[in-house]
Amino acid sequence: MLKNDSKWIKIISTATDSKNIIFLDSLWEGFMKYLENAVIKSINMLNDNVCDIKLHCPRVAKNACPGQFIEIYPDNGVNILSRPISICEADKIIGTVRVVFQLVGAGTKLFATKKIGDTLRILGPCGNGYSIGENSIESSVVLVGGGIGVPPLLYAAKSIIGEKTIILGYRTSPFLADEFIRYGNVFVCTDDGSEGYHGNVVSFMRENNISGDYILSCGPKIMLRYLSEYAVENSIPCQVSMEERMACGIGACVGCAIPIDVNGEVVNKKVCKDGPVFDCKEVIWQ
């Protein structure tokens, strides 16, 4: 439960007025999160429905890891809830975080109307990201992304120094795919066959016997489910970044809980706090 003391209330009530506020609580088990009024350094539309924003938020950037996300607040007096958006890139030196997101509702459409120099109130970094392990040059990693699950894998690809096979799936025209080329061998799959392999990412992997030391993935739940089956069949450790609707984004409302197998027992874990990344063998697919 959230703390209900004067200090906590003060932090909440003054959040929109302060430039940088450290946001700490036992709720996050020692992980540091920050509320920042992030300044927009660049904003572009990658296509008619995907927006690319770079934010200057030094404290969030410094603590961000691949697979984590930020909460962005509309602060328009109409849309109350924050929007969780995966971190596409973070530059710890210059203090920027890049987010690439799809316009799916009033909140994300509002963000896309902002201009360079405008501010967005954000909370982050949130959640538990990918466990990259030893990250040695001898390792072989497969990164699998689908649709709007592609952006967070760019940060992972930049952070891994070993051999990378990168498989990106889209319904139609790809976005961001060209930015992955410098980090590994990239294969594009499209549902309509407009570019690359005609079909989904798992079909491509089966046809080409794709393997590696481990898999990192993010995308629609149906993709992650079939990818997990492939990984288990081929004895490849696989981490999946789950997508669920979130209300609070900090683990308080339990709106994003999913069933997880913990030593043979079903436990409801929160995607926003315990995830979004889980071992594929732990997820109880429904």
Domains parsed from the chain with CATH numbers: 6-126 (2.40.30.10), 140-279 (3.40.50.80)
Burial of 4 (0-12, 13-18, 19+ CB in 10 A): exposed
pLDDT at 32: 74
pLDDT digits (tens, 9 = 90+) for 99-120: 999 999 999 999 999 999 999 9
Task: Kindly write down the DSSP assignment for every residue of 121-189, as one continuous string.
Answer: EEEEEESB----TT--TT-EEEEEEEGGGSHHHHHHHHH--SEEEEEEEESSS-SSHHHHGGGSEEEEE
Of 207 and 28, the one with more pLDDT: 207
Question: 3-state class of 191 per DSSP?
Answer: coil
Residues 130 and 151: beta-carbon distance below 8 Å: no
pLDDT digits (tens, 9 = 90+) for 16-55: 333 443 443 333 344 578 999 999 999 999 999 999 999 9
Nearest residue to 241 (alpha-carbon basis) of 124, 145, 140, 123: 145
* Confidence label for 140 from pLDDT (cuts 50, 70 and 90): very high
pLDDT digits (tens, 9 = 90+) for 212-258: 999 999 999 999 999 999 999 999 999 999 988 787 777 788 889 99
pLDDT at 9: 26
pLDDT tops 60 at residue 5: no
pLDDT tops 90 at residue 61: yes
Question: 3-state class of 30 per DSSP?
Answer: coil
Nearest residue to 208 (alpha-carbon basis) of 229, 174, 234: 234
> 249: alpha, beta or left, given left = phi > 0 and alpha = psi -120 to 50?
left
Residues 227 and 190: beta-carbon distance below 8 Å: no
- Full-prediction pTM beyond 0.75? yes
Rounded to 5 degrees, φ, ψ at 241 are -95, 110
Q: Cα separation of 177 and 53, whole Å?
A: 17
pLDDT at 133: 67
At residue 54, what is the residue type?
K
The average pLDDT across 141-150 equals: 97
pLDDT at 183: 96
Locate 222 and state its tokens. Answer: 């149906």
Locate 83 and state its tokens. Answer: 């929007």
Of 95 and 255, the one with more pLDDT: 95
